[in-house]
Amino acid sequence: MPSHTSPLRRSEPQALIRLGSSIAAGAIVLDQATKFWIVEGVMSPPRVIDVTPFFNIVMVWNKGASFGLFSTQSPWTQLALGGMAIIISIVLGVWLLKSRSRWLSAALGMVIGGALGNVIDRAVYGAVADFLDFHAYGYHWPSFNVGDMAISVGVVMLLFDGLIAKRRDHRLTG
């Protein structure tokens, strides 16, 4: 396989593990730093801050999964959702150990970091702190946080990687 500068090029496994781990750690730190800033500073007391005609900063405690799904007052829900996120992060970590591209390693690191950032919230607060609120014409997208953004971008990158890898493999064998 010829060497090129594509984001999908093969690299040393240890470097790829470091890359994914560094991105995961960076996502956790950025997620937790922004949440601390919002929870302890900006939203004390909680209120709605209009930033633009389509964006607010709010304080929402999400006791459910994505977009508030499975939201209950039961502490078991937090334990179950946090446990699932940890298990998924471990599976993704094993995948990271087998990664052979920078793109895939970065994508896995983003998903792992975002998921673990939200797990920290569940352990510390009993819910996930969401504070970014986009809206238009009276309709609001569910509030989210930096960890959620990392997960979303990472998943899109994983999908892109799957499509590119499938095309590349088809081209090499077809």
Give the residue numbers marked as catalytic: 130, 148
Half-sphere exposure of 149 (CA within 13 A, CB side): 15
Pair of tokens at residue 96: 């990271």
> 66 by DSSP, 3-state: which?
helix
Contact status, residue 129 vs residue 61, Cβ threshold 8 Å: yes
Tokens standing for residue 102: 């920078």
Give the amino acid at 62.
N
Tell me how far apart the terminal alpha carbons of the chain are, to the nearest angstrom.
15
CA distance 94 to 110: 14
Helix (H), strand (E) at residue 132: strand 128-136
As given in the structure block, the two tokens for residue 67 are 């977009």
